[in-house]
Structure 1
């Protein structure tokens, strides 16, 4: 039974990072398109898979899993010896990845999502921007990236010299900043810019950004 990914088709947010893991790990999958505007994620059938009514969800040989970061970890573990390694096997190395992933979720994601909401989401919906809220969020994001600059001055990626899930999780929202004219990811410091440009040029991301989420079977 082929793995199924239930999500929207755009390359961002949780569905995007799951699709990236599938691409990096070369995992065949069927994409089941969920029409968010039509509220297909709120149907009884979908709520039976995810009671929160959110995408993404995967179905792998009858095993149902939701929450994008949990899905990514599951896939990286199950297919550890396939495609690009995204989680190291050593306990200390794994701890450093989890440390960096916690930073992404607790420090980076919590701020960048607020910038995206004001600078991109509201603009796309024709809503007025709260400039004070945007300015505060940009200041907070800038402070986080100052710390990233220090971390990335010591090694190529956030948890060491290899690309891992800790780096991959940043694709969920940060690439959208450029759509709102926010170039902070490439203007904060040379090491952050180097790291970000490398992420933006990874073949799996370039393909996903150009084509959206598409299954490889079915």
Structure 2
């Protein structure tokens, strides 16, 4: 199985898909979408991604799929490497719990912080400092939950790495590495987990591009 990955090198969602492809040893061809000239809002792109976002993939047989998390789940059915989604019912339930944590507890806050601290200044917009302060307070509170979970097990769903862990990497780089948030030295379980997942060869291959 091989596919074409239509996306942007600056997109966390594009990087999420590339990460899982690398993790599963699935070859892909990257097709850049020029978001600086709003190529993603033009009819040719909208035919494939009706919400005007990136990424989407196209397989050799013409099958198409968008939404990065859905693509990642689909890719786990191909290639080789760690399973990433358990099949035993209780383990799967724990995976879904962990996936929900990433989607609801981490991603919205990390994305909001990144917008205020990185993207707004990059495009000449003023940071909403009050909003940012609230986001960082929420982020710190959420990370206390992570510390508690990871004090009992190696990864968020148990003792095997899953998509739920890996999906943290694109925004985790922004908040933990580039912005230095999270006070990882005071959260040893979180630090161990972050160092573990961020050192994976798959992430090292795509963390600065796709």
Which TM-score tier does this pair reach, normalised by the shorter chain?
over 0.9
Q: 1:132: how far off?
A: 1.3
Work out which structure has the larger RCO, using CA pairs closer than 8 Å and 6 or more positions apart in sequence.
1
Structure 2 residue 67 is matched with structure 1 residue 75: no
Secondary structure, counterpart of 1:173 in structure 2: helix
- Report how far residue 124 of structure 1 moved: 2.0
SS at the partner of 2:37? Answer: coil
Distance in 1 of aligned mates of 2:38 and 2:129: 31
**Structure 2: how far apart are the matches of 1:209 and 1:180?**
12
Question: 1:160-171 residue pairs with structure 2 within 5 A?
Answer: 160-171=158-169
What number of residue pairs does the alignment pair up? Answer: 209
Moved over 4 A (4+): none
**2:112 & 2:163 partners in 1: Cα distance?**
22
Is residue 192 of structure 2 the alignment partner of residue 194 of structure 1?
yes
Q: TM-score, normalised by structure 2?
A: 0.93
CA apart distance, 1:208: 1.2
Normalised to the residue count of structure 1, the TM-score between the two structures is 0.90
| 1:98 maps onto 2:96 in alignment | yes
Determine the C-alpha separation between the residues in 2 that align with 1:185 and 1:32.
37
Unaligned runs of 5+ in 1: 214-218
Query: Deviations 1:2-57 (Å, cap 9, x if unpaired)?
Result: 311111123x5110110000000000111111111122212222111111111010
Q: CA deviation at 1:175?
A: 0.7
Distance in 2, matches of 1:112 and 1:23, equals: 24
